[in-house]
Every structure is written in C-alpha cells, then in structure tokens.
Amino acid sequence: MDAYEALSQIFYLIIATGGAIFALEAVLYWSFYKYDKKYFILTSAAMGVLIAGLVVVFGWASEQTPVILYGGLIGIIAGLFNKLYWKGRYRIPFMMLAPGFLAVSLLVIYPFFFEMKLAFSNLNLYTINNWLNGGDLKFVGFSNFINVFTTSPLQTATFWQLLGRTFVWTGINLFFHVGIGLMLAILLNRKIMAKGFYRMLLIIPWAMPQVVAILAWRGEFHPQFGFINQFLMAIGLQGISWWSDPIPVFISCIIVNIWLGVPFMMIVFLGGLQSIPQSYYEAASIDGASKWLQFKEITIPMLKPAVVPSITLGTIWTFNNINVIYLMTGGNGGSEHADILVSALYKSAFTYSRYSFSAAFALVIFAVLIIMTLIWMKISKGTESAV
C-alpha cells in the first residue's frame, strides 16, 4: 500500500464518518421537531430508506434490498415511538449524545454482537475462506462453550489451570499494588524534603510506555547477560533460567507488572489521603488514639471511596493484562507456562486460528470478570457512602 492509497483510505473514512453523523443528526432533527406534521410516519420511513441507501452507496453493506427494507422499518418504528410517546422531549440531549453513541455502536456494540454470532458458529482456519467468499457460517450451538471447559486452549494447560493461574496472577499483583501503593502514598503525604522529586521518580513506571518498559525489563532478565543474573552471580548465587523454567518465567512477569502498577495506586491513594481533613487526626490525638488506631478508624474508612474503584479497576486491568505476558515471554521455551486466560485467548485466535472457539472463550472470560466484580462490590459495599 503506497502513501496515496493510505491517505485516500483515511480521507474516505473521515468523509464516511462525517456523513454518518450528519445523517443521524438529520433523522433525529426530523423526528424531534417534525413529529406533529402530517404524514410524519411515512416521511420517517422514507428517511430511513434514504439513510439505508447512503449506507449502500458508501459500501457499508453488500445486500441492498434487505438493508433498505430494514432502514424503512427502523424509520417507521422510530417515528411511531416518538409520535406516540416521546413527542419531541429530550431533543437536545439526544442529539448531543448521538455522535458518541454512533462511535460506541461501531466500536463496542457491533463487535460484541458479532462476537456472540461467532461464538455459536464454526469459523476456523478451514472455514474462513468459504466465509470470506460469501459463504454462511454453520450454527453449532453451545459446542464452542463446551469445548472451552472440556478441551485445552493451549497444549500445556486446560481452562481450569489457566483460570487458577489467572487468579494467582491477579491476587499477587493486586496485593502488592495496593500494599506498596498505600505505603508510598502515606510517605509522600508527610512533610518531607524534595517531595515533588520523589513523586516524579515514582510515577515514571506509569508514565513510561509499557512496551519500552517491558522490553527493558526483559533484557534485565536475560539468563546470561541480564542484570538480575549478573547480580546473583556477583554475590555468589547461581543464575536462574528466567526464560525457560515454568516458575521463574511466571515470577518475572509478576515482578514487572508490580513495578508497572504501583504508581497508579499510589497516586489514587495519595489523592484520597490529601482529601481527609487533618482535624480528624487532631481530635483523635487529643483523645489519646494511637497512630495505628487513627489509621484503622480514620484513614481506611475515609479512603474507601478511592480504594474500592481503584481496586475494581486494578483487578480488571490485571486480569486482562496481556502486554506483560506477551512481551516478557516472547515465545520462549517457558512462555506457555506463564500464560493466563487472555494470553491463551490471543494464542487460540491468532496462533491456532480457532476463531469461533476464541469468541466463546472471550465471552466466558467476560462472564468471569462480571461475576468477580459483582462479588467484590457486594463484599466491599462499594456503592455505599463512606460517611
């Protein structure tokens, strides 16, 4: 692809996106401001047909008749709903939210439902050519979901082994993220010299691009030339095969991810600590409360609004963190011994070309995360106020 072709595709994408937003705003304007006009329903259907025609013209659909038919039906339904129920209410908020909703639909909603379609089909390396050439995907029911739990996504681990390893990965990382982050936040919240300088140094792992940081760390874990083994041998210990032995390769990934994740927790906790009024601690000191009692009864409860969301986000990010696993292992001998659910999902799709299986695998991971989040919110009472 030459530069002219690449620029042409970018220009086409900009024009197509602008046209889609303009068409959506036009339909909303007509629906909200002209709902009391005569023949409104028929005109809404005509506008739906027009928008569907634009979709075909821009090449977003290959089957013209069904697309235009669906466009007319959507126009009729939208017109009836607005004429009988909305009657022009909330026109400005809806028109302002429409471009964002279009972007979310294209980037999130449509891929999600397409993934659900793939999860119940048989798309793989052997059937993809037939599908790309206009063939249909065969419906296979829940067989892909059954295979996720009964077969091995990777050659060296089953789903349940990967799930257990992912829980260990998430738990260890989150424990050190929260523990070290809170400790550093408490230290930075005190009156110390060069506080801004220390804060700048501690935020570097979060500010640095992950690819650069992870590849730098990977070099430090080189079995022969890396700093870690050089240091171990300098103090009289034997070097470790970080890239080939199952446990060391997993430990090295955990160390790197802890280093990357601590600054985020530190900044969140530091903001929470600075929002706690000092008068609480002064009153507790007058009453004779020890430092530990002040931390237990004042700091922890007052940090709850910051701790619960940050732990929730940290759990989701760590659970789904493929960057560290993928870049640290790099396909070395022990790489599959460090794989977690999301890295196994990636390999299932792009190494073994099991696309429908991977779609079902992704939905299972999504369900696991939803369940974990709901349990955590129930245990932590995250929706309750701190006071």
Per-residue pLDDT of the chain (387 residues; tens, 9 = 90+): 567 777 887 787 777 777 777 777 877 777 777 777 777 777 777 777 776 766 666 555 555 556 666 667 777 777 777 776 777 677 778 778 878 887 887 788 888 888 888 899 888 888 887 777 777 788 888 999 998 898 887 777 888 999 999 999 999 999 999 999 999 998 888 888 887 888 888 888 888 888 888 888 888 888 888 888 888 888 888 888 887 777 888 898 999 999 999 999 999 998 888 888 888 888 888 878 788 888 888 888 888 888 888 888 889 899 998 888 888 887 555 567 788 999 888 888 888 888 899 999 999 999 999 998 888 888 877 556 544
Name the domain count of the chain: 2
Task: Among 63, 96, 117, give the residue marking a domain's end.
Answer: 117
Domain match, 224 and 262 both: yes
Q: What is the pTM of this model?
A: 0.78
Domain of 171, CATH number, reads 1.10.3720.10
Domain match, 108 and 170 both: no
Domain match, 82 and 221 both: no
**130 occurs within a structural domain:** no
Domain match, 177 and 250 both: yes
Angle (CA) 370-375-379 rounded to 5° is 150
Distance CA 156, CA 133 (A): 35
Domain match, 186 and 95 both: no
3-state secondary structure the chain: CCHHHHHHHHHHHHHHHHHHHHHHHHHHHHHHHCCCCCCHHHHHHHHHHHHHHHHHHCCCCCCHHHHHHHHHHHHHHHHHHHHHHHCCCCHHHHHHHHHHHHHHHHHHHHHHHHHHHHHCCCCCCCCHHHHHCCCCCCCCCCHHHHHHHHCCCCCCCCHHHHHHHHHHHHHHHHHHHHHHHHHHHHHHCCCCCCHHHHHHHHHHHHHCCHHHHHHHHHHHCCCCCCHHHHHHHHCCCCCCCCCCCHHHHHHHHHHHHHHHHHHHHHHHHHHHHHCCCHHHHHHHHHCCCCHHHHHHHHHHHHHHHHHHHHHHHHHHHHHCCHHHHHHHHCCCCCHHHCCCHHHHHHHHHHCCCCHHHHHHHHHHHHHHHHHHHHHHHHHHCCCCCCC
**235 occurs within a structural domain:** yes
Q: Which domain, by its residues, includes 90?
A: 3-117
**123 occurs within a structural domain:** no
For the chain, give the number of residues: 387
